[in-house]
A and B are shown apart, each in its own frame.
Chain A
Amino acid sequence: MAAPLLDVRDLVMHFPVRSRGIVSRTLGHVKAVDNISFTLEAGQSLGLVGESGCGKTTTGRLVTRLQRPTSGQILFEGQDIANASPRELRPLRRDIQMIFQDPYTSLNPRHTVGSIIGAPLEIHNLVPKNKRLARVQELLEIVGLSPEHYNRYPHEFSGGQRQRIGIARALTLQPKLLVADEPVSALDVSIQAQVINLMQDLQKEFNIAFLFIAHDLAIVRHFCPEIAVMYLGKIVEKAPREQLYMSPKHPYTKALLSAVPDIGQVIAGGRRERIRLTGDVPSPINPPSGCPFRTRCWKAQDICATMPPPLEKKGGAGLAACHFPENTNPENTNPENATRDAA
């Protein structure tokens, strides 16, 4: 079996917290990403979901090497880029690109759309100067904008159109992996679907792998066949979407899913019972011992405080890190039953 496009192993990112004395000392670490592993095949999509502060954005920044991880390996096409120098990273920047959340702040307002999209061509000197314009116009067309717009400035476009520009910029170098960090959450609902469809078309057409980072469970489900749920810097569950949404194994996944307001239930009539998590996510500086979720978990027992549950198979195709997983009865993996269970 060939090596996967992206193979992340034991990735750790700790940010030091310093004291305020005359001479600053390191008091502890924010464990933003705490020992996570996952793989992504070429042309596939992996969803990374979780609440703010769970480390999903940091993970994206590590994979694109905007930050250097504390430890762990990031194998891209078999080559470890976790500690690559800026010089070594240069060719990789072509293969790994990023789409950002806010299309209003991630485009330089003083550059024309043409120079924003064309800049990577210039930096990597890939296309001869006289053909750059043609390439930019081609890219604009690919993302559904008019090729004549290359001379305009970002403020002349709406939010959805700006995100298309951001996607065109990311596509310029024909990357193999796109890290999309909340690519549609700043957009209006009716526009979100346009951008999601565009990304799906592009993925098929150019065989691009997506690391799709978002908090919106419905959109992640729509986009990614496999999804990892993060909590306090750790992956607590990773499973194919059918299983994750129909019969989640980790209580946190279950709670997260049941918290999503859903119009389907009203149409179906009646309101479902929801699992209510109490309190806030604990501080990542001093996470709970054992299982990070135990302080908010309704199933927590003594062992949860002493032994961190390993991420392992709990029935079905996926992995979960829990001592007392949900939905482990074989008959419960039937989607019909599972829906009723969550309802």
Chain B
Amino acid sequence: MIAFAVRRTLIGIVMLLAMVLVVFVLFFAAGNPAKDVCGKFCTPEKLKQVTKVYGYDQPISQQFGLFMKGLVVGRDYPVNDAYRAALEKSNPDLVIHCAAPCLGYSQHDASTVNADIVKYAPVTISLALYSFILWIFFGVLFGVIAAVFKGKLLDRITVGVTLVVYALPTFFIGTFLLQFVAIKWRLVPYPTYVSIADGGVAGWFSSLLLPSLTLALFYMAAYVRITRAFVLESLSEDYIRTARAKGLRTRVVLFRHGLRAALTPLISLAGLDFAALLGGAVITESVFNYQGLGLLAVTSARNSDLPVLIGLVIVAGAAVIAMNIIVDVLYAYVDPRVRLR
């Protein structure tokens, strides 16, 4: 198991490096990053200077090498060595050290990409975790109920409701909750993000209710249907017939034999969906104006802030790769037939 995890991690790192390379080449080779940094009122002289100071005049392979070096050991900005040395003497405050793993420097935000991400990540992680718990709990619960009462009224209602919820766009659910639950009916205070440090666990918890619910409802609807299908499939297996032929109670047959097998494929789905959310929930964060990675991505894209975008893609990719490894290890843990190699 440990050997497997180590090997998968090594493969994961290779995949991550390949991804960084592709992203880097796409973003930097496709456009002219110097132009983006230079801004609206760019003059040819200013562009020339920016190109030099930011090292965009160097060959792309060298730029990539520097970027990789930053990821591994950290680096200093501005990029141009001569310029930086001069700046160190004249104005040392303007030289910025970006510690490993350095994802880059955003001229637009005048900060390292790492600092940006650290600032925006708590909201996204909170949202992802919170909604994950909501959707898994209720999704699986209603999915099992629907499967057990297959064809009965309860099943039809559950399936019908999930279909409606699934069809509603997230921005609609978000706006609805915000307008009616928070503003019109005042069932909850207007949601603004409160960190645990500021408002304690209770404050954090209530501040995230509406946006997490918005995010969770869509997934919940999907998971009700997926769980229902998995449980129904499991209940039609031969070993369920065996369990019944043994004279076990229906409850035991259902939960110990049926649900156990159905949950296994759910693990891999849930792990990957959760990982995807770590990259930022763009619409939900926008609707509630929560400062998360999704919103950061939108603003960065609007401002053509390439370093931040690259950093975000790398973070999101790393999350997916890491979750993949975790899911594979978990899978082997729950299914004895899976031998890890």
Judged by CB atoms under 8 Å, the answer to whether A and B touch is: yes
Measured CB to CB, the closest approach of chain B to A17, in angstroms, equals 11
Instruction: Give the distance in Å from the alpha carbon of A20 to the alpha carbon of B7 in the complex.
Output: 10
Q: Is the CB of A20 within 8 A of B6?
A: no
Q: Is A24 an interface residue, CB under 8 A from the partner?
A: yes
Q: Is the CB of A24 within 8 A of B6?
A: no
Q: Is A271 an interface residue, CB under 8 A from the partner?
A: no
**Residue on A nearest B340 in the bound complex, by CB:** A20
Q: Which residues, 1 to 48 on B, are CB-close (under 8 Å) to A?
A: 3-4, 6-7, 10
Contacts of A66 in B (CB 8 A): none
Q: Is B339 an interface residue, CB under 8 A from the partner?
A: yes
Q: Which residues, 256 to 302 on B, are CB-close (under 8 Å) to A?
A: none
Measured CB to CB, the closest approach of chain B to A285, in angstroms, equals 15
Contacts of B340 in A (CB 8 A): 20
Q: Is the interface of B mostly helix, strand, loop or mixed?
A: helix
Q: Is the CB of B341 within 8 A of A22?
A: no
Q: What count of chain A residues pass the 8 Å CB interface test? A: 6
Q: Is A276 an interface residue, CB under 8 A from the partner?
A: no
Measured CB to CB, the closest approach of chain A to B334, in angstroms, equals 18
Q: Is A261 an interface residue, CB under 8 A from the partner?
A: no
Instruction: Give the distance in Å from the alpha carbon of A23 to the alpha carbon of B6 in the complex.
Output: 10
Q: Is A18 an interface residue, CB under 8 A from the partner?
A: yes
Measured CB to CB, the closest approach of chain A to B338, in angstroms, equals 12
Measured CB to CB, the closest approach of chain B to A332, in angstroms, equals 47
Q: Is the CB of B6 within 8 A of A22?
A: yes
Contacts of B3 in A (CB 8 A): 20-22
Contacts of B10 in A (CB 8 A): 22
Instruction: Give the distance in Å from the alpha carbon of A21 to the alpha carbon of B10 in the complex.
Output: 13
Instruction: Give the distance in Å from the alpha carbon of A75 to the alpha carbon of B3 in the complex.
Output: 44
Instruction: Give the distance in Å from the alpha carbon of A20 to the alpha carbon of B332 in the complex.
Output: 13
Contacts of A23 in B (CB 8 A): 7
Instruction: Digitize B305-341: 1 where CB-to-A-CB distance is under 8 Å, 0 elsewhere.
Output: 0000000000000000000000000000000000111
Instruction: Give the distance in Å from the alpha carbon of A21 to the alpha carbon of B341 in the complex.
Output: 7
Pairs across A and B, CB under 8 Å, 13 listed: A18-B341, A20-B3, A20-B4, A20-B339, A20-B340, A20-B341, A21-B3, A22-B3, A22-B6, A22-B7, A22-B10, A23-B7, A24-B341
Given A22-B7, A23-B7, 9 more contacts at CB 8 Å? A18-B341, A20-B3, A20-B340, A20-B341, A21-B3, A22-B3, A22-B6, A22-B10, A24-B341
Minimum-distance CB pairs A-B, first 6? A22-B3, A22-B7, A20-B341, A21-B3, A22-B6, A20-B3
